[in-house]
Amino acid sequence: MNAMNLAYKSLIEIINYRAQYQPDKQAYIFLKNGETESGSLTYRELDRQARAIALRLQSWQGERALLLYPSGLEFITAFFGCLYAGVVAVPVYPPRRNQKLSRLLSIVNDAQAKIALTTTSIQSEIENRWEEEAELAQLEWLATDTVAANGEEFVPTSLTSESLAFLQYTSGSTGTPKGVMVTHGNIIHNQQLIQQAFGHSDQSIVVGWLPLFHDMGLIGNVLQPMYLGISCILMPPAAFLMNPICWLKAISKYRATTSGGPNFAYELCVRKIKPEQLANLDLNSWDLAFNGAEPLRAKTLEQFSEKFAQCGFNYSAFYPCYGMAETTLLATGGDKTQKPIIQTVLADDLERNQIVKGSTLSKDSRMIVGCGHPHLDITVYIVNPESLTKCEEGQVGEIWVSGSSIASGYWNRSSATEETFQAYLKDTGEGPFLRTGDLGFLLNGELFVTGRLKDMIIIRGQNHYPQDIEMTVEKSHPALRPNCGAAFMIEIKGKEKLVIVQEVERTYLRKLDINEVVGNILEAVAAEHSLQASAVVLVKTASIPKTSSGKIQRGACRAQFLNGSLNVVEDWSENPEYKSRFISLHTEIDSVLQKISSNKQTTEFSSITTGNSSPQ
């Protein structure tokens, strides 16, 4: 009997089924350094350990428990232990040494957590820091690696599909992290959706390096294998980031069929993996390489497939998809047997929220990767965010989603829940919908995501997508780190101004030619986007604000620019010796753009400052 065909009400029913009918099936294998097996769990072992942890948690039923774990088997047993005990799990990542606790404190306060689950080693490292913060000092602790499965009888809590399973805190890319309330019914529906969209079967094999506290790692790499009754091979995110080849080696060794991550993961493989490392790498088994969670780049798909074609990787394996914590995970995905759908559109029309097909050879065109279509009962509409009416096909608007995977709202935030999860079309009254905050369009049923509504840059009435400007910037000079820049708008004297903050590659920090680098940036942005950058701030490697999942926090970056707290390497406006160069360059740009009046004072640019002062 295939468990995928059963009508489950909770995840507990699934793990019980696995422990009963597949007790010796290896559920999870962990590679401590991305290569060496350091532990594994069968479904019987997972069930026993989860029950043992649940015994220790019974008195906390209904409370929220922080899960402070690195990626590994201890996180998985603790998560299922919470489910057994009826405790609401709150996955978070353990703070690194000398890392600010602001995000963690925000989550603890918002979730009103009473207990923290972790490992002995992590507890000893961070317990002293807890004493410095009153909220954290009040937490009870449980090191689950000291809990032994001794066979004591445990009766799981009775759960329904409406029961709250865990709180998935949002990345905070455009605001304060919020706890998405994910029910057992949400998870099971999304598992069905993933299974159908990905074409999974009981023969599928998953390899994953994504953080387990993140929705893509948890829902995709931990719960989907459990739902299917298959094996998953996991590794620490740091192992992949430091040595990307270990991800592909694991796929090759374990004959994985499904694996993936955000677009930057594929870019990292293209940039960091050397040709000599490709020997003995066999990627023939990899038939679904999912790509989501951040803007997808057609060029990345092309470069990755070209580089690894000799290893058996097929371009058709790429699977662009779209989703978020508020949709549990997956919302849309393509057809597994088809190649990714790439749509070329005219950039100027896109900025006016219209879709006009363009030529791939034209510099005025932009290539957008499709993210598939809805599955099961998921509905996707494109809606005008101001009139709240449905857009015509080929018009850009806000992406609205409905269906059984949509979470029940934000924890303890009734107004935010109403605003985001309970949207209705103004003209027809249809709803409720989730307002995603993302912009996109539909074409022949395919969803194309173009950006974030809150991040949109509007200068002189013209829309500009920050990720397009950021890509232009990073390509303008080899000293600039890919995927490590932020473009945003500020207002000075009633006028909108473009600011660019960009990380510098570590190898260029001592030999940085500020004149050349900033000059290249200004020229490229002017040529590609008909925009004048009013400030360019180059910052140290790994210093730009990002979410825990690697997304650029443009709002936080803007705030740091305004309060002077960026980790600045060079700022052209603070270097008098280069001022004449920049004034001259801006004058040239003005004449080319013909958008600045003849009496424009170029000295205005010198009023934009960072470092220890704020813009005037």
How many Å apart are CA 473 and CA 372, to the nearest integer? 29
Least confident of 242-246, 271-275, 591-595: 591-595
For residue 294, pLDDT over 80 is answered with no
Domain spans of the chain? 340-450, 457-607
How many Å apart are CA 379 and CA 406, to the nearest integer? 11
Amino acid 419: pLDDT: 94
Q: Do the Cβ atoms of 334 and 341 come closer than 8 Å?
A: yes
Which tokens hold the place of 328? Answer: 């549990």
The model's pLDDT over 94-141, given as tens digits with 9 standing for 90+, comes to 877 666 777 788 888 899 999 999 999 888 877 766 666 666 767 899
Q: In what order do the strands lie in the sheet with 288-291?
A: 37-42, 26-31, 232-234, 206-208, 258-261, 288-291, 318-323, 330-333, 373-374
Q: What is the largest CA-CA distance in the chain?
A: 83
The model's pLDDT over 339-388, given as tens digits with 9 standing for 90+, comes to 999 999 988 888 788 888 887 667 778 899 999 999 999 999 999 999 99
Amino acid 547: pLDDT: 72
Cβ count near 17 (within 10 Å): 17
Q: Which residue has the higher pLDDT, 595 or 139?
A: 139
Q: Do the Cβ atoms of 111 and 411 come closer than 8 Å?
A: yes
How many Å apart are CA 173 and CA 191, to the nearest integer? 26
How many Å apart are CA 136 and CA 56, to the nearest integer? 20
The model's pLDDT over 16-69, given as tens digits with 9 standing for 90+, comes to 999 999 999 999 999 999 999 999 999 999 999 999 999 999 999 999 999 999
Q: Which residues contact 124 (CB under 8 A, 6 or more apart)?
A: none
Q: Which residue has the higher pLDDT, 6 or 514?
A: 514
Q: What is the DSSP letter of 546?
A: B
Q: Do the Cβ atoms of 8 and 188 come closer than 8 Å?
A: yes
Q: Do the Cβ atoms of 482 and 470 come closer than 8 Å?
A: no
Q: What mean pLDDT, rounded, does the chain reach? A: 86
The highest-level CATH class for domain 457-607 is alpha beta
Cα angle 51, 54, 60; round to 5? 165
* Radius of gyration in angstroms for the set of CA atoms belonging to the chain, rounded to a whole number: 25
How many Å apart are CA 203 and CA 557, to the nearest integer? 45
Using pLDDT thresholds of 50, 70 and 90, give the confidence band for residue 609: very low
In 444-567, beta strands by DSSP E = 446-452, 457-459, 462-464, 480-492, 495-504, 533-539
pTM: 0.82
The model's pLDDT over 164-212, given as tens digits with 9 standing for 90+, comes to 999 999 866 555 779 999 999 999 999 999 999 999 999 999 999 999 9
What amino acid occupies position 445? G
Q: Do the Cβ atoms of 221 and 194 come closer than 8 Å?
A: no
Of residues 166, 158, 116, 110, the one with CA closest to residue 137? 116
What does 394-410 look like in DSSP terms, one character per residue? TB-EEEEEESTTS---B
Of residues 335, 328, 323, 322, the one with CA closest to residue 404? 328
Of residues 447, 445, 469, the one with CA closest to residue 457? 469
Architecture of domain 340-450: Roll (2.30)
| Percent of the chain whose predicted confidence (pLDDT) is above 70 | 87
Residue 156, H or E segment: none
Cα–Cα separations (whole angstroms), residue 478 to 115, 244, 387: 47, 21, 44
Q: What is the DSSP letter of 548?
A: T
Cβ count near 602 (within 10 Å): 15
Which tokens hold the place of 440? Answer: 């996109």
Amino acid 344: pLDDT: 92
Q: Do the Cβ atoms of 541 and 567 come closer than 8 Å?
A: no
Amino acid 11: pLDDT: 93
How many Å apart are CA 96 and CA 103, to the nearest integer? 12
In three-state form (DSSP H/G/I as H, E/B as E, the rest C), the secondary structure along 520-538 is: HHHHHHHHHHCCCEEEEEE
Domains 340-450 and 457-607 share a fold: no
Residue 150, H or E segment: none
Which region holds residue 353: left if phi is over 0, alpha if psi is between -120 and 50, else beta? left
Residue 2, H or E segment: none
How many Å apart are CA 251 and CA 245, to the nearest integer? 10
Q: Which residues contact 455 (CB under 8 A, 6 or more apart)?
A: 174, 465, 466, 488, 554, 555
Amino acid 587: pLDDT: 38
Q: 367: exposed, middle or buried (C-beta count within 10 Å: 0-12, 13-18, 19+)?
A: middle
Q: Tell me if the bond preceding 432 is cis, omega within 30° of 0.
A: yes
